[in-house]
Amino acid sequence: MPDGWGCAPLFPVPGPAPVQVCAVVARPESGGGVGGVGSGGLVLIRDLIDARLVLGCIVDAAYQPLEWLEIEIQDPRAVAGAPQALRDELNNASLDDAFMNRQNRGTDGVRVTLGCEGIHPPATWIRPDTLDPVTLPDHESGPWLLCRDDALLQSAGLPAYASSLHRYLVCPGLGEATPFIPLTDDAPRNERTTEVADAMEGAGLDPASLLPLNPVSGLLACRRYHPIPILGFAAAIGGRAWDQIMQGRPAVRAFAGARVMSSSADRIVPADGRIFTSRDGRGGRLAEALHLKLRLIDSALQQVIDAAERTRLPLLNLTDESLRVRLLDEPAPGIPVLWSGRTVLVESGAAIRSHTPDGGVELYVPMVSLTPSVYRPEDVTRAGRGQGA
């Protein structure tokens, strides 16, 4: 595990466990995490409109990483940054459906099955000192679980789960007498609600001192972490510096393939370790780079074709983040690193289905955050007005 990082299990496990799935936590002194430089916290990979992708790993009993993961944690609070037209269409039920559809269309060999997909786990935090997962202390009548019973919520004067973005915990053992614990900041409160801090107080816990892991009881999913984007790999074929390609991606030198690239100059082949013809002048490098890029395009197309044939569904909003490149940890002796690259489809598109007001036309809205870029001008995030013919 790189210096300044630690592992926090996703689920409380009594006693030692031979293998666990963990979230990677940046210690405050390491400078990193969701909260920003110097704050520590989960190591953020990127945001979706309805979820966060954070770095994780599978560890053995000695907490040695066996496999690096992307952990997708559903979080309806992120919808606040979505366009108004999309917010009006979203609720907990549609977010759950969209989340599960994404996972069901996942690529075999990339997806890692936890066994609890489709089940909302308890709201979870992390102790920053021990990195142990923390859930709300059980009531004497049973544990606190996410309430999806719309009738029970509405009988208490609270918004239904299926038709809103608000979430509450209840103790099923108390029946209709259960208190309700709001998990979303703007969730309505009344005389039937109590706060997370009050529920933790009896156990001597303060949520303000804990790191939020899954504080809104969101669905979870995992897949293998392949940090190299397809466009970055194409740039590496063209000779781009490795640090420039991987800028902004968490501690990539710790991962299989990435450390090979960074040290290939003196370990793989006598030249620079990336291609065969690096000593044959520009002509040789150009021909080999063209061959590798054509192979890259061909394998990317084949990955998309295979996914479309398997799911029989359209693949919408594919980006260079959807297609990554996997490098072998230790290529065969004499084989340059770039020849070991294999394209992997890690996301088969992310969109939520909507309709025009008259219901006559289906619309698909991207689930990725609509941040401005050279490919997506700033105006695209602004609400449009007018009438089309």
The answer to whether residues 93 and 100 touch, using CB atoms and an 8 Å cutoff, is no
Residue 11 in tokens: 């689920």
- Residue type present at position 312: R
Phi, psi of 100 (to 5 degrees): -70, -35
Listed residue (40, 29, 39, 55) closest to 251, CA to CA: 55
Q: Which residue has the higher pLDDT, 100 or 381?
A: 100
Confidence category of residue 214, pLDDT binned at 50, 70, 90: very high
pLDDT at 275: 60
Query: For 12-42, what is each residue's pLDDT tens digit?
Result: 887 778 899 999 998 765 555 443 333 458 8
Query: For 90-100, what is each residue's pLDDT tens digit?
Result: 889 988 988 88
What's this model's pTM, rounded to 2 decimal places?
Answer: 0.80
Burial 201-237, CB ≥16 within 10 A → b, else e:
eeeebebeebbbbbbbbbbbbbbbbbbbbbebbbebb
pLDDT at 181: 95
Please report, for residues 5, 13, 111, 184, 256, the alpha-carbon distance to residue 199 in angstroms, rounded to integers and kept in the order given.
30, 21, 35, 15, 43
Confidence category of residue 248, pLDDT binned at 50, 70, 90: low
Averaged pLDDT for residues 75-95 = 78
Please report, for residues 40, 228, 231, 285, the alpha-carbon distance to residue 273 in angstroms, rounded to integers and kept in the order given.
36, 18, 20, 13
* 21 backbone φψ class: left, alpha, beta (φ>0; ψ -120 to 50): beta
Confidence category of residue 213, pLDDT binned at 50, 70, 90: very high
pLDDT score of 105 more than 80: no
Pair type for strands 65-74 and 168-170:
unpaired
pLDDT score of 368 more than 70: no
Averaged pLDDT for residues 43-62 = 88
Query: For 154-168, what is each residue's pLDDT tens digit?
Result: 999 999 999 999 999
Distance CA(186)–CA(164), nearest Å, equals: 11
Most confident stretch, 64-68, 169-173, 336-340: 169-173
Averaged pLDDT for residues 264-287 = 56
DSSP alpha helices (H): ranges in 133-215?
Answer: 150-155, 196-201
pLDDT at 271: 41
Q: Which residue has the higher pLDDT, 376 or 117?
A: 117
pLDDT at 193: 94
DSSP string, 73-92: EE-GGGGGGS-HHHHTT--H
Contacts (Cβ under 8 Å, ≥6 apart) of 136: 122, 123, 143, 144, 169, 181, 196, 199, 200
pLDDT at 34: 46
